C-alpha cells in the first residue's frame, strides 16, 4: 500500500484486493458483536477535513475511525471562501501541528488531496475531490459487487449518467478495471469528457443496448443544473433516454444488481420502484462503506512506515 | 520425550539456549499434542463439555483443531473450536506493519460462561496472548481463560504464563523458533534457527 | 563610459570586436583598440541585438507584492532584454493616457530596459467599449500595441472597430484568442489528461476559432493584427494559411509553450497553470516548426509573476501564469537552437528584430553595425545551470523551470551603451 489514497490508481490489484479482504474480515469480526469497537488505532488522530457538505461520507469516515478507536476531529470548512479564509496549506499545517496522523479530505477542487499530500507528513485519504476521484466510493462499490455476485473478474458493469462531472465514475472505471471487471460507460455524448476514449472502458450512448448484458448497473447522480448548461434538453428527456425505470430493469439478467452512490434523484436517473427493489444495493453500499473505510484507515495507519 | 512441567516461571527457565536445528519432528509433534490433550482432559474434569479451544491464527488455529480432535478421541466428548484473529488488537502494529486479517470464528454456543483455552504455537513475549485476551473481552465473558502453547521459548515481556506447554525451549533472543504445521506448511516440524549465543545474565 | 567588447561572435558568426561609444556602436572589426574604454573579454560569447518582449506583466500599479516595474525590469535585463511591453491588466487598468504614462515613467526611472506600455483595447478590459486608444498613442508612452490580454476581445463587432481604429496611428491589436463561452471554468488543455485529472478543459478550438475569425476581420478591414501566445498546432495552421493569403497578421509564442506540455499538470502543482494552457507534445512540435519557418514571428514571454498565495493553493483557485523573462533565451536555445531549428541569427530575428517591428520600436531590433544604438546582449551558449527560483530577480517565485537544467547564460546586456548587466549581475 502507498502512504496515501488519493486516487484509484494508487491501488494495484493486490492492494485493492487486500482492502476488500480486510473489509470483509472486519465486517465478519464485528457482525453480531455487542462491542463494535476495535482498539487498533488507539492514540491515532484522524481529521475529517470537509470543504464540501457531505454528511453521509463524513459520517461514514467518522464511524470507521471511531470503530478503530482513533480520535476523530471533524473540521468543516464548508462555506469558507478559500480566497477569504485560511488557505488549504495553512489549514493543513495547523492540523498537522496538532498531531493529526491522517487527514480525510473532501474538497470541491480537483487535485486538492494531491496538494495536501505534498504538504503534510501524515497519510491523506481522498474523500472526493471536485470532478476528479472518490476512491473509497469505488472500493465500497467493488466490495458490494463482490459480496453480491461473488466475483469481480469478468463482471460487466454499466456506469450510467454524468460521467463528465463524476468523481465516482472516474474512480470506478480505474478500480474496476484493476480488479478485472469490464466497464461500459453510458451517457449522452455531452456528458462524456473529451478524452474518455483513453479510459479503460467502453463508451455507449444507448442504455437499452447495454442493459441486457450488464451484471451491474451503476446509476450516477445527475444534477438538474446541468440542464441549464444545455448538457441535455430537459429532465424528462434525460429520464426517458437514460433513466432506470421498471421497464428497463425488467430486461436485466436474473442476478443483475442496481447501484447508486447516493444521494439519489428519484424520478430523474432512477425510478423509486427501482431504487427500492431487491436488485438495489443502495442500503448495502452505505453499510459496506464503513467496513471499507475501516480497512483503508487500518491499512494506511496501522502499520509502520515502509 | 520427557514431559515438561506446565508453566515454568521465567526465573526457572534454563539458561542455555538450544542449538540450532530440528527441535521436534513430526512424530514428536503428534506425541506432544497427545500429551497436551490428556492434560486438558485431566484438568477440565467433569466440565469438559464447557471447554472451548480458541486458536490464534495462523498456526494456533490448526493446532486448536488438532487438540480438540485428540481430546474427543481420548474422552469421547466433542469439543468446540474457534479462532480469534488478534491483528486489530496488537499494540505493535507500528513496528510490525500491517498484515492481512484472518478469520475470527466462534462456536455457535459462544464463549460466555465457558472455559476458553487459547491455543498458540509459540509463546514468546506474551504480547500476542495479551492481544487475544483483549479480543476475547470484546467477544464475550468466559468463566475462565487458560493458555496452551506448543513451544514456550521464554523472554516474556508481560506477566503471562501458559497453563499447558508442549515443550519448553531455552533460546537466545536473537534466535527464532519456527513451527511448521501440515495444514499451513505441508509438514509438521519445529526448528530453532540462529546462533545459540549466550545471553548476558 | 565607453566599452570595447573583444571577440564576440555577432549572431554566432566569427569573433569581432565592438566599440560602444556614446550609446551607439562606434565600430565593429578585428583588433579594435580604444583608449579609456572599459574592455570586456567576450571570447566565446554570442552577441545579439537586445531582446524585445512583446508580452510582459509587470503588475505595477496594483500588485506590487508580485512584481514592480523595477523588479520586472531587472529580471528582463538579466534575461537579455532591452525593451519589454508592459501588459495593460494592471490595477487600475492601463486604459488611459495617465496610467500608461505612469508605467512608462516608472520604466524610465528604473532605467534597466525600455518599458513600453501596452494600452487596453476596451475600458477596464471589460470588452464593452473602446478605451481612448488615440490618447494613449499620443501620450509620452507613444502606445502602439493595444491588448486586453487576459481577456479576449470576444465581441466581433468591437474587435472589428478596434482593428480599424488603430490604423490611424499605425497601432496593432494584440488579441488574446480565447472564445470565452468555450472556456468557462477552464483549467487546462482539454484532452486525455483533463479527462483523467477531472479538470475542466480549455479546448484548442476556443483559440483557433478566434484566430480564424480575426484574421478574416483583419483582412476585411485592411488592418494589422497580432496574436498573443499561440498555443496550438491548429492555430499555426490557420496563421500559415492567413499569411499565404496576405493577411497582415503576426503572432508570438511563449517559451513555456515551446517546452512544456499538459503532462506537467499531473501533480496539480499550480505553477504549471497558465492561460492559454500547456498543450500536447504534438502542439509543442508544431509551435517550434511554426517559429522556425516564420509563421510565428516572435517569442514573447508572457512573464506573469504571482504572489505565493495565488499559486500555493488549489489548482482551480490559482491564478494562471508563470515567470519567463529570465529563462526565455535559455528555453529558446534549448528548444530551437540545440534542436537545429534556428541559428543565432534566427533567434535575433524572432526575439529582437520582429518584435521590435511589431511594436514599432525604432531603437530596438537593429543590426549590430556602426551607427546603431548599442542595445545588445552577450550570452555564453556553452554554460549550463539549474534554475533556482529563489535566485531570480523577479519579486515572485512561480517559475515552471525550478530544478531544470537549462543551457546558456546571459553575461552582459547593454541598453544604449550602458551595461545593465555585467558578468551576469544586474548593474542597478
Q: How do residues A13-55 score in pLDDT, each as one tens digit?
A: 999 999 999 999 999 888 878 788 899 999 999 999 999 988 8
C419, three cell numbers: 551595461
Tell me the mean pLDDT in the region A109-113. Answer: 97
Decide if domain A8-134+286-301 falls under CATH 3.40.50.1370. yes
Say whether A247 is catalytic: no
C194 — contact with chain A (CB < 8 Å)?
A: yes
How deeply is A240 buried, as exposed, middle or buried, from its count of CB atoms within 10 A (0-12, 13-18, 19+)? exposed
CA distances (Å), origin C217, targets C180, C221, C225: 18, 6, 9
Cross-strand bridge partners of residue C146: C119, C173
| Interface residue B109 vs chain A (CB under 8 A) | no
Nearest CA distance, A9 vs chain C (angstrom):
11
- The one catalytic residue in A13, A36, A56, A240 is A56
Residues C68 and C174 in one domain: yes
Q: Is B101 on the interface with A (CB under 8 A)?
A: yes
β-pair type (C46-49, C376-386): antiparallel
| Under 8 Å between Cβ of C325 and C81 | yes
**What is the mean predicted confidence (pLDDT) over C200-211?**
98
Which one of A57, A178, A184, A281 is the catalytic residue?
A: A57
CATH number of the structural domain spanning residue B173: 3.40.50.2020
What pLDDT sits at residue B15? 62
Check whether residue C229 and residue C284 sit in a common domain.
yes
Residue B92 lies in a domain: yes
* β C172-175/A216-219 pair status: unpaired
C-alpha closest to that of B122 among B197, B52, B24, B2: B24
Q: Does B98 touch chain A (CB under 8 A)?
A: yes
Q: Which of C306, C328, C358 is the last residue of a domain?
A: C358
The answer as to whether B75 is a domain residue is yes
- Structural domain harbouring C142: 51-358
* Residue predicted with more confidence, C180 or A43: C180
Cα distance from N-terminal residue to C-terminal residue, chain A: 9
pLDDT at B7 over 50: no
> Which of A6, A110, A163, A170 to mutate to probe the C interface, most C CBs <10 Å?
A110
CB–CB contact C313 A87 (8 Å):
yes
Q: How distant is the Cα of C265 from the closest Cα of chain A, in angstroms? A: 10
Measured between alpha carbons, how far is A37 from A30 in angstroms, rounded to an integer?
Answer: 8
Query: Would the CATH topology of A8-134+286-301 be identical to that of A135-282?
Result: yes
pLDDT of residue C138: 98
- The reply to whether C411 touches chain A by the CB within 8 Å rule is no
Q: Does C219 touch chain A (CB under 8 A)?
A: no
User: Is B100 in contact with A39 (Cβ distance < 8 A)?
Assistant: no
Contact with chain A for residue C198, Cβ under 8 A: yes
Q: Report the C-alpha gap between C99 and B111 in whole angstroms.
A: 86
Segment among A34-43, B8-17, B42-51, C383-392 with least mean pLDDT: B8-17
Q: Which residue of A has its CA nearest to C271?
A: A115
Mean pLDDT over all residues of chain A? Answer: 93
Nearest to B97 among A26, A28, A304 (CB): A304
Write out chain A residues lying below 8 Å of B93, CB-based.
Answer: 40, 302-304
> How close is the nearest chain B Cα to the Cα of A200, in Å?
29
Residues of B in contact with A299 (CB under 8 A): 98
With contacts defined as CB-CB under 8 Å, which chain A residues touch B134?
A: 39
Task: Tell me what ipTM this predicted complex has.
Answer: 0.93
Residue B2 has pLDDT above 60, yes or no: no
Whether A303 and B96 lie within 8 Å, measured CB to CB = yes
Contact A196 C195 (CB under 8 A): yes
Residue C200 to residue A88, Cβ atoms within 8 A: no
Q: Which residues of A touch B100 (CB under 8 A)?
A: 18, 21-22, 25
CB pairs under 8 A between A and C: 79
In chain C, how many domains are there? 2
Judge whether B5 lies within some domain: no
Could you list the residue range(s) of the whole structural domain that residue B41 is in?
A: 20-193
Query: Would you say residue C366 lies in a domain?
Result: no
Q: Give the model confidence (pLDDT) of C48-59 as tens digits.
A: 999 999 999 999
Mean pLDDT in residue range C191-204? 97
Same domain, C311 and C402: no
For residues C199 and C106, membership in a common domain is answered with: yes
For residue A167, give the nearest of C198, C201, C313 by CB distance: C198
Cell of A188: 449522452
Q: How far is C16 from chain A (nearest CA, A)?
A: 52
Q: Which residues pair with C48 in a beta bridge?
A: C377
Catalytic residue among A44, A67, A134, A177: A134
Query: Cα A60–A66–A71 angle (5° rounding)?
Result: 120
Q: Is residue C363 part of a domain?
A: no
Q: Which of A13-17, A75-79, B77-81 has the lowest mean pLDDT?
A: A75-79
Lowest mean pLDDT among A80-84, B140-144, C231-235, C301-305: A80-84
- Angle at which helices C204-221 and C156-165 pack, to 10 degrees? 50
Cis peptide bond upstream of C206, omega within 30: no
pLDDT tens for B98-121 read 778 888 899 988 999 999 999 999
Between residues B11 and C274, the one the model is more confident about = C274
Q: Give the minimum alpha-carbon distance from A19 to chain B in angstroms, rounded to a whole number.
A: 9
- Contact state of A304 with B88 under an 8 Å Cβ cutoff: no
Top residue of A39, A122, A297 to mutate, by most chain B CBs within 10 Å, is A39
Report the CATH number at residue C381.
Answer: 2.30.40.10
Q: How confident is the model at residue A305 (pLDDT cuts 50, 70, 90)?
A: very low
Locate the domains of chain A by residue range: 8-134+286-301, 135-282
At residue A177, does pLDDT exceed 80? yes
A 56-75 residues with CB below 8 A of B?
Answer: 68
Residues C285 and C416 in one domain: no
Query: Is pLDDT at C378 greater than 80 in this prediction?
Result: yes
CATH for C248: 3.20.20.140
Q: What is the mean pLDDT of residues C194-217?
A: 98
Residue B19: pLDDT band (50, 70, 90) is confident
Contact C207, C232 (CB under 8 A): yes
Which pLDDT does position C78 carry in this prediction? 98
| Residue C169 contacts A, CB cutoff 8 Å | no
Determine the Cα–Cα distance for residues B5 and A243; give it in Å rounded to an integer.
73
**Is B8 within the bounds of a domain?**
no
The reply to whether B94 touches chain A by the CB within 8 Å rule is: yes
| Interchain touch A–B (≥3 Cβ pairs closer than 8 Å) | yes
Residues C385 and C401 in one domain: yes
- Which among A110, A114, A197 has CB closest to C316? A110
Please give the average per-residue pLDDT across A284-303, as a whole number: 93
Cell numbers 477569504: residue = A84
CA of A14, closest CA in chain B: separation in Å? 11
Same structural domain, C73 and C42: no
Residue B34 vs residues B58, B74, B146, C23, C261: alpha-carbon distances, Å: 21, 9, 18, 107, 72
Cell of C65: 507584492
The pLDDT value given to residue B10: 46
Instruction: Please tell me whether residues C418 and C339 are part of one structural domain.
Output: no
Residue C302 lies in a domain: yes
Can you point out the beta strands (E) in chain B? Answer: 21-24, 51-55, 80-83, 115-123, 144-152, 164-168, 176-180, 189-193
* pLDDT at residue A83 tops 70: no
Structural domains counted in chain B? 1
Regarding chains B and C, contact by 3 or more CB pairs under 8 A is answered as: no
Surface of B (124-183) touching A: CB under 8 A: 134, 138-139
Q: Would C21 be classed as within a structural domain?
A: yes
Looking at the fold, whether C230 and C327 belong to one and the same domain comes out as: yes
Q: What does pLDDT average to over chain C?
A: 97
C279 and C379 co-located in one domain: no
Residues of C involved in catalysis: 302
Q: Hey, what CATH topology would domain A135-282 get? A: Rossmann fold (3.40.50)
Judge whether C367 lies within some domain: no
Q: How far is CA C11 from CA A204, C42, C343, C424, in A?
A: 58, 13, 8, 19
A122: which chain B residues are within 8 Å (Cβ-Cβ)? none
Given CB atoms, is A302 within the 8 Å cutoff of chain B? yes
Q: Are C317 and C368 in contact (CB under 8 A)?
A: no
Neighboring chain B residues of A39 at a CB cutoff of 8 Å = 88-89, 134
Q: Which of B88, B95, B96 sits opposite A38 (nearest CB)?
A: B88
- Min CA distance, B22 vs chain A (Å)? 33
* Residue after which a domain boundary falls, among C335, C358, C381: C358
Question: Residue A184 above 70 pLDDT?
Answer: yes
Q: How many angstroms separate the most distant Cα atoms in chain B?
A: 49
Contact A170 C191 (CB under 8 A): no
Closest residue in C to A119 (Cα–Cα): C312
Residue with cell 487498533: A40
pLDDT over 60 (residue A91): yes
Amino acid at each position: 500500500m502507498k502512504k496515501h489514497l488519493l486516487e484509484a490508481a494508487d491501488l494495484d490489484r493486490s492492494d485493492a484486493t487486500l482492502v476488500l479482504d480486510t473489509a470483509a474480515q472486519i465486517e465478519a469480526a464485528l457482525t453480531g458483536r455487542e462491542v463494535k469497537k476495535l482498539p487498533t488505532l488507539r492514540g491515532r488522530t484522524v481529521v475529517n477535513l470537509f470543504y464540501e457538505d457531505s454528511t453521509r461520507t463524513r459520517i461514514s469516515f467518522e464511524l470507521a475511525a471511531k470503530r478503530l478507536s482513533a480520535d476523530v476531529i471533524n473540521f468543516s470548512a464548508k462555506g469558507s471562501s478559500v480566497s477569504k479564509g485560511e488557505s488549504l496549506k495553512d489549514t493543513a499545517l495547523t492540523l498537522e501541528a496538532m498531531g493529526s496522523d491522517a487527514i480525510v479530505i473532501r474538497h470541491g477542487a480537483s487535485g486538492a488531496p494531491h496538494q495536501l499530500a505534498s504538504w503534510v507528513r501524515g497519510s491523506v485519504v481522498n474523500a472526493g475531490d471536485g470532478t476528479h476521484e472518490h476512491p473509497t466510493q469505488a472500493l465500497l462499490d467493488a466490495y458490494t459487487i463482490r459480496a453480491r455476485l461473488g466475483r469481480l473478474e469478468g463482471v460487466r458493469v454499466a456506469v450510467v449518467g454524468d460521467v463528465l462531472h463524476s468523481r465516482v465514475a472516474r474512480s470506478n472505471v480505474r478500480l474496476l478495471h484493476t480488479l478485472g471487471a469490464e466497464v461500459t460507460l453510458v451517457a449522452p455524448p455531452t456528458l462524456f469528457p473529451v478524452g474518455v476514449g483513453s479510459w479503460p472502458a467502453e463508451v455507449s450512448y444507448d442504455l437499452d443496448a447495454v442493459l441486457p448484458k450488464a451484471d451491474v448497473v451503476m446509476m450516477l447522480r445527475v444534477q438538474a443544473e446541468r440542464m441549464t448548461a444545455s448538457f441535455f434538453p430537459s429532465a424528462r428527456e434525460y429520464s426517458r433516454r437514460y433513466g432506470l425505470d421498471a421497464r428497463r430493469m425488467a430486461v436485466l439478467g436474473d442476478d443483475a444488481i442496481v447501484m447508486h452512490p447516493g444521494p439519489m434523484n428519484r424520478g430523474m436517473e432512477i425510478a423509486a420502484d427501482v431504487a427500492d427493489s431487491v436488485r438495489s444495493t443502495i442500503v448495502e453500499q452505505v453499510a459496506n462503506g464503513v467496513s471499507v473505510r475501516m480497512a483503508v484507515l487500518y491499512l494506511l495507519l496501522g502499520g509502520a512506515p515502509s | 520425550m520427557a514431559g515438561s512441567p506446565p508453566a515454568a516461571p521465567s526465573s526457572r527457565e534454563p539458561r542455555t539456549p538450544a542449538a540450532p536445528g530440528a527441535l521436534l519432528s513430526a512424530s514428536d509433534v503428534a506425541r506432544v499434542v497427545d500429551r497436551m490433550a490428556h492434560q486438558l482432559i485431566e484438568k477440565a474434569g467433569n466440565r469438559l463439555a464447557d471447554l472451548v479451544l480458541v486458536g490464534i491464527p495462523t498456526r494456533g488455529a490448526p493446532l486448536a483443531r488438532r487438540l480438540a480432535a485428540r481430546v474427543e478421541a481420548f474422552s469421547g466428548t466433542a469439543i468446540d473450536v474457534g479462532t480469534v484473529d488478534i491483528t486489530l488488537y496488537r499494540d505493535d502494529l507500528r513496528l510490525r506493519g500491517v498484515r492481512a486479517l484472518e478469520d475470527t470464528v466462534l462456536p455457535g454456543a459462544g464463549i460466555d460462561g465457558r472455559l476458553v483455552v487459547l491455543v498458540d504455537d509459540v509463546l514468546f513475549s506474551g504480547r500476542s496472548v495479551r492481544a487475544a485476551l483483549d479480543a476475547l473481552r470484546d467477544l464475550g465473558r468466559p468463566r475462565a481463560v487458560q493458555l496452551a502453547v506448543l513451544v514456550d521459548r521464554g523472554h516474556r515481556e508481560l506477566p503471562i504464563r501458559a497453563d499447558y506447554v508442549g515443550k519448553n525451549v531455552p533460546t537466545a533472543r536473537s534466535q527464532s523458533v519456527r513451527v511448521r504445521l501440515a495444514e499451513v506448511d505441508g509438514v509438521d516440524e519445529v526448528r530453532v534457527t540462529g546462533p545459540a549465543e549466550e545471553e548476558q545474565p | 563610459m565607453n566599452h570595447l567588447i573583444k571577440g564576440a561572435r555577432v549572431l554566432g558568426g566569427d569573433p569581432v570586436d565592438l566599440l560602444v561609444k556614446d550609446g551607439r556602436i562606434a565600430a565593429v572589426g578585428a583588433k579594435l583598440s580604444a583608449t579609456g574604454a572599459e574592455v570586456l573579454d567576450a571570447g566565446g560569447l554570442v552577441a545579439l541585438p537586445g531582446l524585445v518582449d512583446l508580452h510582459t506583466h509587470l503588475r505595477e500599479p496594483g500588485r506590487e507584492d508580485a512584481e514592480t516595474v523595477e523588479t520586472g525590469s531587472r529580471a528582463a535585463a538579466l534575461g537579455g532584454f532591452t525593451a519589454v511591453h508592459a501588459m495593460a491588466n494592471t490595477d487600475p487598468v492601463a486604459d488611459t493616457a495617465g496610467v500608461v504614462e505612469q508605467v512608462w515613467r516608472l520604466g524610465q526611472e528604473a532605467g534597466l530596459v525600455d518599458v513600453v506600455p501596452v494600452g487596453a483595447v476596451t475600458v477596464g478590459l471589460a470588452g464593452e467599449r473602446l478605451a481612448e486608444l488615440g490618447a494613449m498613442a499620443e501620450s509620452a508612452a507613444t502606445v502602439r500595441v493595444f491588448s486586453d490580454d487576459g481577456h479576449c476581445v470576444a465581441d466581433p463587432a468591437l474587435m472589428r472597430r478596434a482593428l480599424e481604429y488603430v490604423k490611424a496611428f499605425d497601432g496593432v491589436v494584440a488579441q488574446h484568442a480565447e472564445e470565452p463561452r468555450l472556456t468557462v471554468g477552464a483549467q487546462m488543455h482539454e484532452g486525455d489528461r483533463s479527462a483523467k485529472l477531472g479538470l475542466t478543459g480549455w479546448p484548442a478550438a476556443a483559440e483557433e476559432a478566434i484566430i480564424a475569425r480575426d484574421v478574416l476581420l483583419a483582412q476585411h478591414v485592411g488592418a494589422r493584427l497580432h496574436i498573443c501566445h499561440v498555443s496550438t498546432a491548429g492555430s499555426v495552421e490557420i496563421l500559415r494559411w492567413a499569411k499565404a493569403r496576405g493577411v497582415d497578421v503576426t503572432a508570438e509564442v511563449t517559451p513555456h509553450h515551446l517546452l512544456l506540455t499538459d503532462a506537467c499538470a499531473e501533480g496539480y502543482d499550480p505553477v504549471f497553470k497558465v492561460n492559454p494552457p500547456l498543450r500536447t507534445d504534438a502542439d509543442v512540435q508544431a509551435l517550434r516548426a511554426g517559429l522556425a519557418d516564420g509563421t510565428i514571428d516572435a517569442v514573447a514571454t508572457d512573464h506573469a509573476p504571482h504572489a505565493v498565495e495565488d499559486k500555493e493553493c488549489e489548482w482551480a483557485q490559482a491564478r494562471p501564469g508563470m515567470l519567463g523573462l529570465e529563462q526565455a533565451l535559455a528555453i529558446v536555445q534549448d528548444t530551437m537552437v540545440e534542436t537545429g531549428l534556428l541559428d543565432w541569427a534566427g533567434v535575433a530575428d524572432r526575439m529582437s528584430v520582429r518584435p521590435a517591428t511589431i511594436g514599432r520600436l525604432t531603437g530596438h531590433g537593429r543590426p549590430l553595425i556602426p551607427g546603431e544604438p548599442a542595445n545588445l546582449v552577450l550570452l555564453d551558449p556553452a554554460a549550463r545551470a539549474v534554475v533556482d527560483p529563489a535566485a531570480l530577480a523577479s519579486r515572485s517565485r512561480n517559475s515552471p523551470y525550478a530544478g531544470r537544467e537549462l543551457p546558456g547564460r546571459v553575461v552582459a546586456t547593454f541598453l544604449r551603451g550602458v551595461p545593465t548587466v555585467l558578468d551576469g549581475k544586474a548593474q542597478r
